[in-house]
């Protein structure tokens, strides 16, 4: 079974600064997907960024980018130019490559607070 | 596109009663829906995977007789919490796949806004 670990329960960053959220995972599979989801106070889950394990290039999405280290099973999220609207819970998640309807396994989450 | 709704958004019930939560895909047909449970300040825990027209697959430790899941159509799945007790109070979230958006083995899950259940 896959496990996803987020070792930072809470993080704080000042507006316009950069912050990195950590995530490690454990799997015996070679092909899989990794995700970062954002859950703001509204509790609506929002997909931030996705990484396919077979791609060496790190995914980027505007101010959000990842550092994917497959050998180390590490998948960190960098948020640049942090904005107040980035305040939320961030969950790292793993999805097996086998089967389009395979389930997501979530980490425990990191609460990010963006301050003025 | 790819909107998932849940109803109700919150519900309060007395201990011993049953509560039904609906999950609908509004603009796509969802062959698979997932039900999650989230306790305060905790992560999402998958309860079951629901496939249209067949029995749900429950995760280990989830009581299938207590959490009844029905996926009778391609746009609707329901979760019924039977004989609810205060320990069932939680935030329940559903998600759905849109097979029409599948790219290879990747098929994004779209999440509903969640339902807060409080059992008195």
**Which chain A residue is nearest to residue B105, measuring alpha carbons?**
A100
CA distance B71 to chain A (A): 15
Please state the rounded mean pLDDT for residues A99-109.
82
Exposure string for B53-84, b = 16+ CB within 10 A, e = fewer: eeebebeeebeeeebbbebeebbebbbebeeb
Residue A27 has pLDDT above 70, yes or no: yes
State the average pLDDT over residues B73-96: 95
Q: Do B106 and A33 touch (CB under 8 A)?
A: yes
User: Which of A73-77, A105-109, B1-5 is predicted with the least confidence, judged by mean pLDDT?
Assistant: B1-5
Q: Do A103 and B49 touch (CB under 8 A)?
A: yes
pLDDT of B102 above 80: no
Closest residue to A101, CB basis, from B44, B45, B97: B97
Please check the confidence at residue B68 and state whether its pLDDT lies above 90.
Answer: yes
Give first-to-last CA distance, chain A, whole Å: 41
Work out the minimum CA distance from B16 to partner chain A, whole angstroms. Answer: 27
* ω into B8 cis (within 30 of 0): yes
Round to whole Å and give the CA distance between B36 and B47: 5
CA atoms within 13 A on the CB side of B38: 25
Q: How far is A112 from chain B (nearest CA, A)?
A: 13
Which residues 47-106 on chain B approach chain A with CB closer than 8 angstroms?
49, 51, 91, 93, 95, 97, 99, 102, 105-106
Most B CBs within 10 Å, among A8, A9, A43, A96, to test the B interface = A43
pLDDT at residue B109 greater than cutoff 80: yes
Q: Determine which of B111, B113, B116, B117 to mutate to test the interface with A (most A C-beta atoms within 10 Å).
A: B111
**How high is the pLDDT of residue A49?**
96
């Amino acid at each position: 079974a896959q496990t996803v670990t987020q070792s930072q329960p809470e993080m704080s960053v000042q507006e316009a600064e950069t912050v990195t959220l950590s995530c490690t995972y454990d799997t015996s599979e070679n092909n899989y997907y990794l995700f970062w989801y954002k859950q703001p106070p509204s509790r609506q889950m929002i997909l931030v960024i996705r990484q396919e394990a077979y791609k060496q290039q790190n995914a980027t999405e505007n101010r959000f980018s990842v550092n994917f280290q497959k050998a180390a099973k590490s998948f960190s999220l960098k948020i640049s130019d942090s904005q107040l609207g980035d305040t939320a819970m961030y969950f790292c998640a793993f999805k097996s490559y086998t089967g389009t309807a395979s389930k997501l396994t979530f980490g425990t989450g990191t609460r990010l607070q963006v301050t003025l | 596109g790819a909107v998932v709704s849940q109803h109700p958004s919150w519900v309060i019930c007395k201990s011993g009663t049953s509560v039904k939560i609906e999950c609908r895909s509004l603009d796509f047909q969802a062959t698979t829906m997932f039900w999650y449970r989230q306790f305060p300040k905790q992560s999402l825990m998958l309860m079951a995977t629901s496939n249209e027209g067949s029995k749900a697959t429950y995760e280990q430790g989830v009581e299938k007789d207590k959490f009844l899941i029905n996926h009778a159509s391609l746009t609707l799945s329901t979760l019924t919490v039977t004989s609810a007790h205060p320990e069932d109070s939680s935030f329940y979230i559903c998600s759905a796949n849109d097979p029409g958006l599948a790219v290879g083995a990747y098929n994004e899950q779209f999440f509903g806004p969640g339902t807060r259940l409080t059992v008195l």
